[in-house]
Amino acid sequence: MRSRHMGGPPWWHGRFRGCGYRFTVPRQAILDVLSGTLKHLSAEDIYFAVHKTYPNVGLTTVYRTLELLVHMGLVFKFDFGDGRARYELSEGPKGARHHHHLVCTSCNRVVDYTDFIDEEVELLGRTEKGLSDKFNFKITNHLIQFYGLCDKCRNSQ
Amino acid sequence: MRSRHMGGPPWWHGRFRGCGYRFTVPRQAILDVLSGTLKHLSAEDIYFAVHKTYPNVGLTTVYRTLELLVHMGLVFKFDFGDGRARYELSEGPKGARHHHHLVCTSCNRVVDYTDFIDEEVELLGRTEKGLSDKFNFKITNHLIQFYGLCDKCRNSQ
DNA sequence: ATATAAATGAAAATCATTTTCAATAACACT
DNA sequence: AGTGTTATTGAAAATGATTTTCATTTATAT
């Protein structure tokens, strides 16, 4: 597969090389898909999206790349309870697009929210500090989700 | 399978009947296992534990019962990233055993913590209220987890 | 006791994810 | 630009947790 002049954050390349990894076309393509959406894509979703431009990138590569990206901390993997993992470009607590999730336990709909985030993040920071000290963990991330019945589901049943 | 005089919270029986479900021996046994441990058991763990006393309860029934218990809100299902779901008797935010989790992303070890919980729960309550109003969700539960490298993993690599 | 519908167990099916392995591509070095 | 080394890739097969199927059993109302 031929390399192209790559768009997107140029530091991705350096980030990969810095870890001893190669910045290949499939990896670039997967990052492009993730950075171009606000949705919660599954591996298969990403596979189809990449497939439009690069039909010979396989699903296996998508899985392998996602695992790598999660390991590098560039991507966060979520479980919303519908039997398949979901992936999002990880945006640190100070990032503009940082959000948490509200998950409907009936239809699995996921709503992102950014309100209340600031207070949450502030408290999380303090908790994080306390936990690191007490348990000697090197904390790299957190997850907050609320579960319940969405508008539609609470009315329809 | 013969019914026995049942120990454990007697309201379980009523809770089941109230939902139109039968309170069977396998269901009781599974609840007994869950209420007798502080660990994060997988469906298979529970199957083995139940099997000691009731060798003819099948894994299928364990899965089906867990799904029901989660649906009834008696049990919470977790994903710690090791490819199998984990289950805990759900103890509401005010419960004595209510806790959150600290997950090692390298070895998947899970540490329960109860410190900092009060503040977290207080904030979560407020957030919950705000979210309910804004998105018209009926919120029934929340999940907070921290991720990072545990003591051992941060030193060994 | 009996009827009825819910619950169960064993086996088979499903389906997301991983593994295997030979072929290919990225990059360091000329 | 050409070459060698090694990481990366793709296709197919394997894995393994969870679900489904369906005939049998059990709880409970009558």
Which protein residues have Cβ within 7 A of any strand C atom? Answer: A 1-3, 13, 16-17, 22-25, 42-44, 59-60, 63-64, 67, 83-85; B 1, 21-22, 24-27, 54, 56-58, 60-61, 64-65, 83
Residue B151 has pLDDT above 80, yes or no: yes
In the stretch 74-133 of chain B, residues with CB closer than 8 A to chain A read 77, 79, 81, 102, 104-105, 111, 113, 115-116, 119-120, 123, 126-128, 130-132
The predicted structure's pLDDT at residue B91: 83
Residue B111 is nearest to which of A135, A145, A149, comparing CB atoms? A135
pLDDT-derived band at A82 (thresholds 50, 70, 90) equals very high
A1 and A59 assigned to the same domain: yes
**How many Å apart are CA A47 and CA A52, to the nearest integer?**
9
pLDDT tens digits for range A23-49:
999 999 999 999 999 999 999 999 999
Percent of chain B scored above 90 by pLDDT? 73
B9 and B83 assigned to the same domain: yes
- Residue B106's alpha-carbon distances to A105, B24, B132, B147, in angstroms, are 29, 40, 35, 10
The predicted structure's pLDDT at residue A2: 31
pLDDT tens digits for range B46-82:
999 999 999 999 999 999 999 999 999 999 999 999 9
pLDDT-derived band at A5 (thresholds 50, 70, 90) equals very low
The predicted structure's pLDDT at residue B157: 59
Asked whether residue B60, judged by its CB, lies under 7 Å from any atom of the DNA or RNA strand D, the reply is yes
A14 and A83 assigned to the same domain: yes
Q: Which domain holds residue A11?
A: 1-90
Mean predicted lDDT score pLDDT of chain B: 90
A65 and A101 assigned to the same domain: no
B13 and B72 assigned to the same domain: yes
B51, containing H or E segment = helix B43-53
Domain boundary among A90, A111, A140: A90
The predicted structure's pLDDT at residue B46: 98
A72 and A128 assigned to the same domain: no
pLDDT-derived band at B2 (thresholds 50, 70, 90) equals very low
A68 and A4 assigned to the same domain: yes
Domain boundary among A90, A125, A140: A90
Total domain count, chain B = 2
With H, G, I as helix, E, B as strand and everything else as coil, classify residue A41: strand
Phi-psi sector, A120: left (phi>0), alpha (psi -120 to 50), beta: alpha
The predicted structure's pLDDT at residue A8: 55
B97 and B157 assigned to the same domain: yes
- CATH code for position B60: 1.10.10.10
Count of CB contacts below 8 A, A vs B?
121
| Range with the largest mean pLDDT of A64-78, A102-116, B9-23 | A64-78
A81 and A115 assigned to the same domain: no
A85 and A96 assigned to the same domain: no
pLDDT tens digits for range B92-137:
777 888 899 999 998 899 999 998 888 888 999 999 999 999 999 9
Strand partners, B111: B102
The predicted structure's pLDDT at residue B97: 85
pLDDT tens digits for range A114-156:
988 888 889 999 999 999 999 999 999 899 999 999 999 888 7
Backbone angles phi, psi at A91, to 5 degrees: -115, 115
A9 and A64 assigned to the same domain: yes
Angle, helices B43-53 vs B59-72, to 10°: value is 110
A68 and A97 assigned to the same domain: no
The predicted structure's pLDDT at residue B1: 39
Give yes or no for B11 touching A (CB within 8 A): no
- CATH code for position A133: 3.30.1490.190
